[in-house]
Structure 1
């Protein structure tokens, strides 16, 4: 006896798969160095957290050793936020100076720096005085050199003028000597001889004047 109905293969409906849920990550906030040293809970808006990070605990330890946590907190609360970073840097510097020098603290470091500044100012003043002296000496040398060059130029010009005049005089004397020699050889009086008439020097021929009678 055959079965009245054929049973086909059974197909199971696919089960919808849910997307993987992201694993919940736990964010652990590390307390600031101040709260860690003070062993207290670091709140969300801790006044010390922005200036004393957990990576630099020595910074708060130095300031806390000299000023104390309560004084640091009170000072930061009294200041506006734009001046708090400078105040923390000043407190840390002063505390470190007090640790190095318990007697004078930062005042001793300031006095030492002031002495160094005074010494450098004195050295600068000496250097400026030496520079001024060197410049004055250089100006004197330049003026002296200019004077010597001017005198040498004037002496050279005067020497050239005197040499020209002396050469003319010597040349004139030579010509007169030649004329006198020629006149002596030829028996003729020199043409450029001078004689005095009524106290005035006159130029003329000596031979002609000598041949004329003195009284007529």
Structure 2
């Protein structure tokens, strides 16, 4: 009697024939040529030297610069400059091109000269204003000194303390006559008649006439 032996051998692994999971579709980005390559009707390469400075959304920028300088000169100038200075160079060329459109002879130099003339005129006006201000201040100081002197003389004549000049208006300053007024009558003036000596408003009676 044959004994049946159990087959303990494991079955071969079963490889699944399932298809791999589909990868998500990547969006295709279509790069528009820069404004320079579009105007020049050429293919815009990956590292186009004009693309960072002439975007396709502003075609008039390159058109103005190209009309004055030419595409070959613009490319040569950008190639000779370091990358950190290229943006400033493009801005200068665009500004010069716009100035040449307004003034074909002088361009940006004409605008600079006009601004310089305006600046010189404003400087001259400022100098005249400073001179007028200095003259007005000197005149004011002179009037203030005269007013202080008149107030002191009037205060000394009336025996009152001098009043501050700031508290007395200019129109209220008394008219001081330093000379004595000699009033003689018509009858005795020719015959040696005595005249009457009248003092000025400063009051000379308090001081002796002869020493």
Please tell me the TM-score bracket, short chain as reference: 0.5 to 0.7
Aligned ranges 1:65-214 → 2 under 5 Å:
65-157=67-159
Deviation at 1:18, TM superposition (A): 7.8
C-alpha deviation, 1:19, in angstroms: 6.5
1:63 deviates by: 0.4
TM-score by length of 2: 0.62
Secondary structure, counterpart of 1:125 in structure 2: helix
CA distance in 2, matches of 1:154, 1:18: 119
Once residues 88 and 152 of structure 2 are traced to their aligned partners in structure 1, the CA distance between those partners, rounded to angstroms, is 68
Provide, for residues 2-21 of structure 1, a one-character-per-residue CA deviation record: whole Å limited to 9, x for no partner.
xxxxxxxxxxxxxx998674
CA distance in 1, matches of 2:117, 2:155: 57
Residue number in structure 2 paired with 1:200: none
Higher helix share: 1
Distance apart, 1:158 and its partner CA? 7.6
State the shift of 1:89 in Å.
Answer: 1.1
Whole-angstrom CA distance in 1 between matches of 2:147 and 2:19: 106
Q: Which has the higher contact order (CA 8 A, sep 6+)?
A: 2
Query: Structure 1 155/99 Cα, relative in aligned 2: closer, same or farther at 3 Å?
Result: same
How many residues of Structure 1 are paired with residues of Structure 2 in the alignment? 147
Q: In the alignment, what sits opposite 2:54? A: 52
Deviation, structure 1 residue 59: 0.7
Q: List gaps (5 residues or longer) in structure 1.
A: 1-15, 167-216
Superposition RMSD in Å:
2.6
Which residue pairs with 2:30 in the alignment?
A: 28
Distance 2:122 2:160 in 1: 57
Taking the aligned partners of 1:21 and 1:77, their CA distance within structure 2 comes to: 42
Which of 1 and 2 has greater Rg?
A: 1
